[in-house]
Amino acid sequence: MEYIQGLEGLYINDETAVTLGKFDGLHRGHQKLIRRTRGFARQGLKSVVFTLDFNRKGMLLTREERRAMLEKQGVDYLVECPFLPEVAHMEPEEFIRGILAEKLHAREVIVGADFHFGYERKGDAHLLMELQKIYGYEAEIIKKETYNGREISSTYIREALEKGEMELAKDLLGYPYFVSGEVLHGRHMGGRLLFPTTNLIPTTRKLLPPNGVYVSRTHLEDGRILGGMTNIGYKPTVGEKFRGVETYLYDVDEDLYGADIRVELLHFIRPERKFESLDALREQMEKDIACGKEFLK
Ligand SMILES: Cc1cc2nc3c(=O)[nH]c(=O)nc-3n(C[C@H](O)[C@H](O)[C@H](O)COP(=O)(O)O)c2cc1C
Ligand SMILES: Nc1ncnc2c1ncn2[C@@H]1O[C@H](COP(=O)(O)OP(=O)(O)OP(=O)(O)O)[C@@H](O)[C@H]1O
């Protein structure tokens, strides 16, 4: 997969099928568009995922995570377009002509029914249909994927995660919500006094569910998948300055510092608490660990 940042160097010397949107989360609705876009490979078109990126907090996927997922799915080009004033102020037809037609050689344009673009969000699926003959592409408008009678959207998933509803988030995403990164050193108290854990410190832009303890499943680089219990938060008993994602893994006893791991958060168990002593915390962690084992069975 080739990825292109911004509009400056943007030029694709192939005929393409392009899908447009914010694409935070790559949820089941997004997947439908991407599958369709990739399907045009049969007609000799390269697939392009064109994302409009807002610099916001509460992202479901970091850039790296999204890139890795799209790469795996066999997308040919990922264009990450920051939502700058020159993009926000572009007249919709200018976007279609200048970008879709001239820079991307779009022959197919695939969007969801509610997609809006260009100055004052004046561009929509209807306009894409109207101008398709003039600019030499075919527009395909995809019906929105729903769940429980509500349209799936990044907003819906953020709401689920903010309530710790990991099962709902998984159903909307089509995969369990996860945090990924390099295992860092903690204070090394865990191994000596409590339980050994892997520590991740995600970017503050990544949305985390409420602080607390979760049943999790961790993917290691070598393909192993291990059950575990994850604590998200500031560890108030020992008092930490950053919000970490810390996992006790079942059935493993090895040094994982420096490893790249992906921790899937499956089920909320309880909120994080401040304990009066490490002994009291250890006792609670023992219960958590037993409870998680039962859940994973
Ligand atoms: C399953 C689990 C539950 C935890 N629950 C809490 C908690 O409720 N309160 C808290 O202060 N720390 C909690 N922790 C974090 C511990 O305080 C942490 O493992 C310990 O301080 C070791 O940190 P270190 O890796 O930086 O040495 C939990 C950790 C795990 C793995
Ligand atoms: N549930 C869905 N089914 C089909 N297509 C969708 C669905 N949700 C979004 N799309 C389409 O996928 C593209 C990217 O969507 P986008 O990320 O911009 O919106 P969203 O997922 O609805 O998020 P938000 O809640 O931020 O609006 C757009 O073309 C959009 O219309």
Asked if 207 and 58 touch (Cβ cutoff 8 Å), the reply is: yes
Asked, colleague to colleague, whether 2-151 and 176-296 share their fold, the answer is no
Distance (Å) from CA 94 to ligand 1 centroid:
54
- 194 — pLDDT class (breaks 50, 70, 90): confident
Q: How many alpha carbons fall within 13 Å on the CB side of residue 40? A: 25
Say how far apart CA 265 and CA 198 lie, in whole Å: 14
Distance (Å) from CA 253 to ligand 2 centroid:
42
ipTM value: 0.91
- For 86, counting Cβ atoms within 10 Å of its Cβ (0-12 exposed, 13-18 middle, 19+ buried), the class is exposed
Asked if 74 and 39 touch (Cβ cutoff 8 Å), the reply is: no
Position 35 scores a pLDDT of: 98
Say how far apart CA 90 and CA 219 lie, in whole Å: 42
Domain range 176-296, CATH architecture: Beta Barrel (2.40)
Q: How many alpha carbons fall within 13 Å on the CB side of residue 103? A: 18
* Domain spans in the chain, listed from the N-terminal domain onward: 2-151, 176-296
- 91 — pLDDT class (breaks 50, 70, 90): very high
Average pLDDT for 142-154: 97
Token couple for 114:
């509610």
For residue 199, which of 213, 210, 187 has the smallest C-alpha distance? 187
Average pLDDT for 109-137: 95
Pocket test for ligand 2, best of 26, 27, 33 (most atoms within 8 A of CB): 33
Distance (Å) from CA 112 to ligand 2 centroid:
6
Report the nearest-CA residue for atom 18 of ligand 1. 190
Position 190 scores a pLDDT of: 66
Say how far apart CA 229 and CA 216 lie, in whole Å: 6
Distance (Å) from CA 51 to ligand 2 centroid:
11
Position 39 scores a pLDDT of: 98
The residue among 187 and 85 whose pLDDT is bigger is: 85
| Percent of the chain predicted with pLDDT > 70 | 99
Instruction: Say if ligand 2 is within 6 A of residue 153 CB.
Output: yes
Token couple for 158:
């953020």
Report the nearest-CA residue for atom 22 of ligand 2. 153
Fold assignment, 2-151: Rossmann fold (3.40.50)
Ligand positioned closest to the Cα atom of 242: 1
Give the pocket of ligand 1 (CB within 6 Å).
186-190, 194-195, 197, 199, 213, 229, 231, 235-238, 246, 248, 272-275, 281, 285, 288
For residue 211, which of 189, 180, 242, 185 has the smallest C-alpha distance? 242
Atom of ligand 2 nearest to the CA of 115: 31
Say how far apart CA 259 and CA 41 lie, in whole Å: 36
Average pLDDT along the chain: 95
Average pLDDT for 118-131: 94
- 224 — pLDDT class (breaks 50, 70, 90): very high
Position 191 scores a pLDDT of: 65
Distance (Å) from CA 197 to ligand 1 centroid:
9
Distance (Å) from CA 264 to ligand 1 centroid:
18
Say how far apart CA 17 and CA 261 lie, in whole Å: 33
Check whether 38 has a pLDDT greater than 70.
Answer: yes
Ligand positioned closest to the Cα atom of 123: 2
